[in-house]
Amino acid sequence: MHEDDSPFYLDILFFCFQVTVKKKYSLIETHRIQGFFLEISKVKFNMSKKIMCEIMVVMASTLMASWGQAEILPPLGPPGTTVTISGEDFGAFQSTQENKVEFNGTPALIQLWESDFIMAKVPLQARSGAVVVINGQTRRTIGVFDVRKPQITKLEPSEAEAGSILIVHGENFSKTAGSRDPNTMFGVNQVLIGGIRAKVRKWRPTKVEVKIPANARTGKVEVRLASSDPLPDGSCCAEVKYAMSNSMPLTVVPLVTFQPKEGPVGSKVIFSGQDFGESQPAGAAVLIGEKPSTIARWSNRTIVVHVPLNATSGAVVLRRGRDGESRKVGTFSVFTSHVDRVIPPEAPIGSLVVIRGEHFGVYSESGSIPYAFDFDPGANGVEIGGVRAIIHRWLDNQIYFWVPFSAKSGPMIIKRGATTPLPDGTCCAKKEIVTLQAGNFTVITPHVDSYAPTAAGIDEIVTITGSGFGDFIKIAEPTQLAVNRKAHDWQIYAPGANVSRSEVMINGMASHVVSWTNAQIKVRVPRRHVFGLANPEGFKLDATKGKLVVKRGSWDALENGQCCTDKKWISVEAGPFTVLKRGLPDKSYSQNGF
């Protein structure tokens, strides 16, 4: 018998074997027998077919007995599969050249060798066939391994955004993705999307979950399994190569994100993505709850819209044009503003008032700049008795504002501007102001009942009692910014008295406030009066006598709603006051050279 005749003889021998023992075998058993005969066929001998048939029964008995003592798990799988061979009398491990495991003639990488247990990796070039254990001159056919190719059967979804999750269904993906250590001696199983490696989240033999890379483009999805092959001498490890699956197309749509995802009407919503177009295509629109939004800006990577007056909560749909795709990119919740309470409900001008509640949105968002705050409040604001207040801070759950100088007692109204777009999405078919009454606000006027003493030395305390003083303003607010520049330029300037929005003046000079409540103020008598007051315009030698005055200041909004006019003050004169030359330093202080 010659090697070239082996396939022909194998078929005859196997047929003879089946006839002799009168038994049908399973696929795995058939592979095992064929593998055994393959080893026999490598020996050159001359023998009649009849004699070969007669010895089949003896061979079968020996063969099946040896298989009963050895087991291969798993019996099938893709390249890279770790296979365990359980049996007995494998012998001791000597070297990678003496001890080998072959898959249909292809040497495998041995990971563990015991006399009754072997672990090996299915090599990349392996084909289905006999598994042979070699120890020196001893060759032992253990059974058959069925090599399977990784196969993709379905992508879920078949169209997805970059950054989203993709599930690859199929078979023979191997049990794990392999080591996550980049320095491992073994390769790592991978999923490629358009040639770009995706981050693996979960890996199972029939399902792989990955995150689509941000830079992925439409293309083919492939699963590739890393090889774990030995070097020619049997040691670890040959250069990593890959067994590739079939490919399946995936449509990667550009990632579109938007913020915020909730808010009242008039809210600015900013879309970020790519390939929107340098200008708004004809028929393009952004729908919020099936209602067209007002488009303030359209560029290739950014779209800015405002939630329209008639918007309702629902899907956000980006329509690229009359004949273009309509794509749902998320949902938006439209909320109605709600007020919980106002603190305080009454105060003098210049006081800081806070309205607490929810869904107030953003104050300055009426423009087209692709940022939440764009310095254009539009019609957004707060009015007290019909007078626009000065907004200090506007958050979604609270609004802080200063009571303006011209404020009047009356209803406190929160206003939000909103629009309805023209058919092409531009502004505006309609402009309206949505109002919400936060309650009634009372503007009170400071009143002095009494003060004592009416004359005091420097650093002594003066107590003023009355009502409507409000809170002391602790925010630094220079009102004469040019003073510093004029002083350096040697120009004549006058400091003036109107600086702080809450102050007590003693003889024309601000005093140090020790405490300030709505009903009582305590101040410390300043020192400068007894030494005289000077400025570039002259010198006032005696400033100890004058008036005690309580002052509160504020501004008004400009006609266009922006901030602000110059500060204005109301002054409440308490009465005359004398600064006594008491509490001055001891005369010996200067005589001692200090």
User: Would you say 317 and 329 are in contact if contact means Cβ atoms under 8 Å apart?
Assistant: yes
Q: Which of 271-285, 362-376, 482-496, 580-594 has the lowest mean pLDDT?
A: 482-496
At residue 588, the pLDDT reads 65
Distance (Å, whole) CA 45 – CA 397: 95
Co-location of 316 and 407 in the same domain:
no
Structure tokens at 178: 């392999």
One domain for residues 460 and 575: yes
Asked if 453 and 574 sit in the same domain, the reply is yes
Q: Which residues of 223-236 are buried (b: 16+ CB within 10 A; e: fewer)?
A: bbbbbbbbeeebee
**Does residue 311 contact residue 289 with C-beta atoms inside 8 Å?**
yes
Examine the domain organization and report whether 439 and 455 are in the same domain: no
- Beta strands (DSSP E) in 453-544 are 455-457, 461-467, 502-506, 509-510, 512-516, 520-524, 533-535, 538-540
Q: Answer yes or no: do 423 and 451 share one domain.
A: no
DSSP state, 459? T
C-beta atoms surrounding 450 within 10 Å: 11
Residue 373 pLDDT: 74
pLDDT score, position 6? 46
Same domain, 574 and 460: yes
Total domains, the chain: 5
Closest CA to 310 of 325, 288, 340, 280: 288
pLDDT of residue 347: 95
- For residue 209, CA distances in Å to 170, 189, 526 come to 12, 13, 75
* Whether residue 469 has pLDDT greater than 70: yes
**Mean pLDDT within 122-151:** 93
Question: Alpha-carbon distance 285 to 332, whole Å?
Answer: 15
Min mean pLDDT across 30-34, 189-193, 438-442, 547-551 is at 30-34
Question: Last residue of a domain, which of 218, 253, 288?
Answer: 253
Distance, in Å, from the CA atom of 224 to the CA atom of 134, rounded to the nearest integer, reads 30
Write out pLDDT tens, residues 32-64. 555 555 555 554 445 565 565 555 555 555 555
| Same domain, yes or no: 575 and 452 | yes
Distance from C-alpha of 85 to C-alpha of 101, rounded to nearest angstrom: 10
What would the pLDDT profile of 244-301 be if each residue is shown by its tens digit? 999 999 999 888 899 999 999 999 999 998 888 899 988 899 999 999 999 999 999 9
List the single range of 42-46, 68-72, 360-364, 543-547 with lowest mean pLDDT: 42-46
Is residue 121 within 8 Å of residue 111, measured between CB atoms?
yes
Question: Same domain, yes or no, for 164 and 232?
Answer: yes
Total-model pTM: 0.66
Considering the domain architecture, whether residues 464 and 551 belong to the same structural domain is answered as yes
Per DSSP, 475 falls in state: S
Is the model's pLDDT at 179 over the cut of 80? Answer: no
pLDDT at 148 over 80: yes
Q: Which residues of 179-200 are buried (b: 16+ CB within 10 A; e: fewer)?
A: eeeeeeebbbbbbbbbebebeb
Q: Which range among 34-43, 267-276, 398-407, 483-492 shows the weakest confidence by mean pLDDT? A: 34-43
Band the pLDDT of 485: cuts 50, 70, 90. low
* Residue ending a domain, choose from 20, 52, 68: 68
**Residues facing residue 457 across a β-bridge:** 580
Q: Are residues 310 and 354 in the same domain?
A: no
**Which amino acid is present at 466?**
G
- The answer to whether residue 364 is domain-embedded is yes
With respect to residue 54, please indicate whether it lies within any of the assigned structural domains. Answer: yes
pLDDT of residue 592: 56
420 and 528 together in one domain = no
Residue 24 resides in a domain: yes
Q: What pLDDT shows up at residue 4?
A: 45
- The domain spanning residue 325 has which CATH number? 2.60.40.10
Rounded to the nearest 5°, which phi and psi values hold at 543? -120, 25
- For the segment 151-168, the average pLDDT, to the nearest whole number, is 93
pLDDT exceeds cutoff 60 at 425: yes
Of 367, 194, 211, 382, residue with least CA distance to 297: 367
Domain boundaries, position 20: 1-68
Which strands sit side by side in the sheet containing 545-554, from one edge to the other? 455-457, 568-580, 545-554, 502-506, 509-510
DSSP code, position 55: T
**Which of 79-110 are b and which e, b meaning 16 or more Cβ less than 10 Å from the residue's Cβ?**
bbbbbebebeebbeeeebeebbbbbbebbbbb
pLDDT of 142 above 60: yes
How high is the mean pLDDT of the chain?
85
pLDDT at 325 over 90: no
What pLDDT score was predicted for residue 22? 45
474 and 562 both lie in a single domain:
yes
pLDDT tens digit string along 194-235?
A: 999 999 999 999 999 999 998 898 999 999 998 889 999 988
